[in-house]
Amino acid sequence: MHREIHSWWSLRLNKHMEIAVYGHYGFALLMFPTAAADYLEYERFQMLDAIAPMINSGKCKAFSINSINNESWLNNHMHPHDKAIRHQQYNEYVLHEVVPFIYDHCKGEVPIVTTGASLGALHCANTFFRRPDVFDGTIAMSGSYDLKSYTDGYFDENCYFNSPVDYLPRWDDENMLNQMRGKGSHIIIATGQGSYEAPGRSIQLSDILHSKGIPHTLDLWGHDMTHDWPTWRQMLPYFLDSRF
């Protein structure tokens, strides 16, 4: 598998940020790490091996980026107000730095599908829902889509607009909603039902999408599917192969 590592100084985050690129052709798969992990997490946990057939065949080209969760929601020494600001800065980094990098690397404005598991699922889904005019879909696995679970009771505008279960029910921009509706076949909310999974969180998001008339796939896997990499290594290649 073709592999490249790129990095640059992010003006929006004021730090050095790396990105790993896998493959040559196809739509762009933008991969968000779990928890406080880094841009090589998907490689370490053999996810790239699991989706290698899709990458090597030119179906997709994977872009795995760094997280800054340990500088925001997972940092217990920061005030939630500052965590929310840092989260918003990360959104700006993705939109205004990562997306142009993907277009440049692919020599054109290829479709970009976001994906992630656990806390990465919140990021990938939120990234798509906030800008369906830029992103082509999302494969969110084993996520919680309520940012309030990370805010210790604090809630401001930055929190609100990064918490899909809060802003989506009140979303009234028909242009943006229609963008989502037109990409319904590429909106996948998946979860296991085994240990440490919380399928109710995915069902909650699905109910909200139904209420807004947004087609999507809610896929509840079995009670033997736990909140861990073996589950996600089965899910992601299955969806890439069957839905894209």
pLDDT at 141 over 90: yes
CA-angle at 74, arms to 97 and 140, nearest 5°? 60
CB atoms within 10 A of CB 32: 31
**Which residues span the domain enclosing 94?**
3-243
Asked if the model's pLDDT at residue 213 lies above 90, the reply is: yes
pLDDT for 36: 84
Which pLDDT does position 235 carry in this prediction?
98
Which band of pLDDT confidence, cut at 50, 70 and 90, is reported for residue 224? very high
Domain count, the chain: 1
- Looking at per-residue pLDDT, the higher value among 222 and 153 belongs to 222
Q: Whole-number mean pLDDT of the chain? A: 96
User: What is the per-residue pLDDT for 149?
Assistant: 84
What gap in Å lies between CA 37 and CA 40, rounded to an integer? 8
CATH of the domain at 37: 3.40.50.1820
68 pLDDT band, cuts 50/70/90, is very high
CA 31 to chain centroid, in Å, comes to 6
Residue identified by tokens 């079995």 is 222
Strands 187-191 and 27-32: unpaired
- Rounded CA gap, 221 and 202, in Å? 12
pLDDT tens for each residue of 77-93 = 999 999 999 999 999 99
Average pLDDT over residues 122-144: 98
Q: In what order do the strands lie in the sheet with 60-65?
A: 3-10, 15-22, 60-65, 27-32, 112-117, 137-141, 187-191, 217-220
Number of C-beta neighbours around residue 64 at 10 A: 24
